[in-house]
Chain A
Amino acid sequence: MLSSTIQIETKNLNVYFDKHYVLKDVNIKIPAKQLTAIIGPSGCGKTTLLKSFNRLLEIHDEVKISGNIFVDGQDIFDSKGDEIPDIRKKMGLISQKPYPLPMSIYENVAYGLKIHRKKTKKGELDAAIQHYLQEVGLWNEVKDRLHDPASRLSVGQQQRLCLARAIAVEPEVILCDEPTSALDPIAAQQIEKLLLKLKQNYTVVLVTHTLRQAKRLADYVIFLYFGMVIEQGPAEDVFNNPKNPATIAYIKGDIS
C-alpha cells in the first residue's frame, strides 16, 4: 500500500483528557519524506493526534495515553524523562498561531542551535542563521534587522520564522497544525509553497481543516472523525474514491 518507508506509526493509540475520550484506537502509518494531511471537522482530535507524536500532550497532566507510537521503528514511550527532549528535537512543530520566542529574530533561529550545542563559533552561527532564513524566504525581508524583536514581524513572517527556527535543529519530521489558518491568503500561499519544498527533505504532517489545501498539497491523507480514523490512504484514493459514507459526506461538504 505504501511505496516509501514508514516514519511514524501508531498502534491502538487512545487519548483521554480527564474522562473525555478524545482519540479512539488510532492506527495510522505516516510515510517518510512525503506530505501527509490529517483532515477532519474541528474538535475531532487532529491537534491532539499531532501533539502526541512528539509527546507534547504530556505537559497537560490531565491527559491519559495508551498504545504505542513508533518513530523510525522506536516506540517513543520507551524513552524516559530526560530523553524526551531528544524525541521532540526530531520533530519540529508549527502551531496554528505562530509563537516566536520572546527574543530577537536572530536569537530565535539561534536558540535551537545553542541549546543543542551546534555551530558554536560565531561565524558558523551567522552563516547557519542566514541559510535557514533563506530556506524559508525570510532572509531578504529581515537581513537588516536581525536583532529586532521577533514580535515586531507580521504574522506571516512570524510563521515563516517559526519554520526556520524549527528546521534549524535539523528535525526529520515537521508537524504543522493548521499553519495557515491565522494568515492572509498571500502569506498562506508562501507557507504552502514552503511545505511543498520541505517535503523533499522532511516528512511533513499537516493538520488542516480546509479540504482544498489538503487536495493541493497532500500525498497521503488521514481522515479523522470523532477521534476515530475513518479513512487513510494515498491522496488520490481518498479524494476520488472515498469508501466510508462519513468521508464521502465530508468531501462533498456536508460535514464541516
Chain B
Amino acid sequence: MDVLNRRTVEEKIFKLFMIVSICIVIGSLVIIFGLVIINGASSISIEMITQTPTPGNALGGGILNAIIGSLLLALPATGLACIIGIGIALYLQKEFSHPGFANFIRFTLDVLWGIPSIVYGIFCLMIMIALGMGSSLLVGIFALTLLEIPIITRYMDEAIKMVPIGLKESAFSLGSTKFETAIRIVRRQAFPGILAGILLGLGRGIGDAASILFTAGFSNRIPTSLFDSTAALPTMIFNLYSLPSGQPKAYAAAFILLVVVLLISIISRVLSKRFMKHVIR
C-alpha cells in the first residue's frame, strides 16, 4: 500500500510538471501569435500592402517591395531546389546508388541542413564577389536554393524510402526501366511526402533572413531584373525592428509571414489528403 502510494505520488508530481511545461509552451505560442496578430492587424492596411516605400523616406509608404521580393526570391529558389532535390532523392534509391554511397550523401545532406544559413549567405557572397556581381535577386535566389536543397531532399528521400519494394518490382516486371520506375511510379507513390518536403522548404526559404541579408541586399524598389538588389519580408523586419517608427512595417511584414506559414501548413494538409488517394498501401 505504502509502495503504491509513493508510486502514484511520483506520477502526480510529474504530471504537474507536464502540465506546467505544456502551459509554458502554449503560453509562449500565444504570446508570439498574439503580439504579431494584434500589432500586425492594426498596422496592416491597403497602402501597406500595395505601395512601395515613398521615395526619400524608407519608413513611409508600404512594404510591397518586400512582399514581391520575397516571392521572387523564395518561389524560384524552391523550384530549383525541388528539381535538384527530386533528382538526388530518386538517385539515392538502391537501384541507382550503392547503399554506402547513398548513406554518405545522406550524411552530407544532414550536415548541410545543420549549417547556419548565415554561412550559406557568406558562401554565396564570396562567389558573387569572385564573379564581379553585386548583391542581387539572382544571388539571393542562389543562396536560398542552397539552403532549401538539404531540407527538401531529405524529406523526399524519407518518403521515397517508404515506397514498397513490391511496387517497384511490379513496375520493373512490366518492362519499365529504372528511370521510368523512378520518375513515373516511385515519384507518384511518394508524392504526398515529396509535397510536404517542398512546402517545408518553401516555408524555410520565405522566412530566412540570414542567407539573403548580404546576397539579396535591400532596396526600396521592386526589382526589375535579376541583377537588382531586392528587399524581402524577413530582411525588412530585420532592418526596421529597432526603430519605433519602423515597427508598424516590421509588424505588418511579420503578420504576412505568419499568414504564409499558416497557409503553407494548411495547404500541406489539404493537398496531402488529396494526393493520398492514389497511394498504394
Contact = CB atoms under 8 A, between A and B. Distances in A.
Interface string B238-281: 00000000000000000000000000000000000000011111
Contacts of A91: 173
Given A61-B98, A115-B180, A152-B277, A102 B173 contact: no
A89 B174 contact: yes
A129 to B, nearest CB: 14
Main secondary structure of the interface of B (DSSP, over half): helix
B189 A102 contact: yes
Nearest to A113: B174
B164 A99 contact: yes
B99 A99 contact: no
B170 A95 contact: yes
Interface string A145-183: 000011110000000001001100100000100000000
B175 A88 contact: yes
B175 A115 contact: yes
B185 A101 contact: yes
A102 B185 contact: yes
B10 interface: no
Interface string B159-172: 00000111111111
A97 B166 contact: yes
Contacts of A54: 172-173
Contacts of B281: 151
B176 interface: yes
B119 to A, nearest CB: 36
Main secondary structure of the interface of A (DSSP, over half): mixed
A99 B177 CA distance: 18
Contact of B173 (A82, A93, A103, A151): A93
A43 B187 CA distance: 32
Contacts of B167: 99, 101-102
B95 interface: yes
Nearest to A165: B174
A93 B170 CA distance: 7
A242 B280 CA distance: 42
A185 interface: no
Given A95-B166, A99-B164, A152-B277, A61 B94 contact: yes
Nearest to A112: B174
B154 interface: no
Contact of A59 (B169, B170, B175, B280): B169
A102 B278 CA distance: 5
Contact of A166 (B98, B174, B189, B280): B174
B221 interface: no
A21 to B, nearest CB: 22
B262 to A, nearest CB: 29
Nearest to A54: B173
Contacts of B280: 99-102, 150-151
A89 B280 CA distance: 23
A115 B174 CA distance: 9
A193 interface: no
Contact of A149 (B166, B173, B185, B277): B277
Contacts of A162: 170
Nearest to A57: B169
Nearest to B279: A102
A86 interface: yes
A172 to B, nearest CB: 12
Contacts of A59: 94-95, 165, 168-169, 172
Contacts of B168: 59
A101 B174 CA distance: 11
A65 interface: no
Contacts of B171: 101
Contact of B277 (A60, A86, A93, A151): A151
Given A149-B278, A151-B278, A85 B176 contact: yes
A13 B169 CA distance: 21
A111 B279 contact: no
28 contacts: A54-B173, A56-B172, A59-B169, A85-B172, A85-B177, A88-B172, A88-B173, A89-B174, A89-B175, A92-B173, A93-B169, A93-B173, A95-B166, A95-B169, A95-B170, A97-B166, A99-B169, A101-B167, A101-B185, A103-B278, A104-B278, A115-B175, A115-B184, A149-B277, A150-B278, A151-B280, A165-B174, A175-B173
Given A85-B176, A88-B174, A166-B173, 14 more contacts: A59-B169, A59-B172, A61-B98, A88-B173, A95-B169, A97-B166, A99-B167, A102-B185, A112-B174, A112-B175, A115-B175, A150-B280, A151-B279, A169-B174
Interface of B: 94-95, 98-99, 164-177, 180, 184-185, 188-189, 191, 277-281
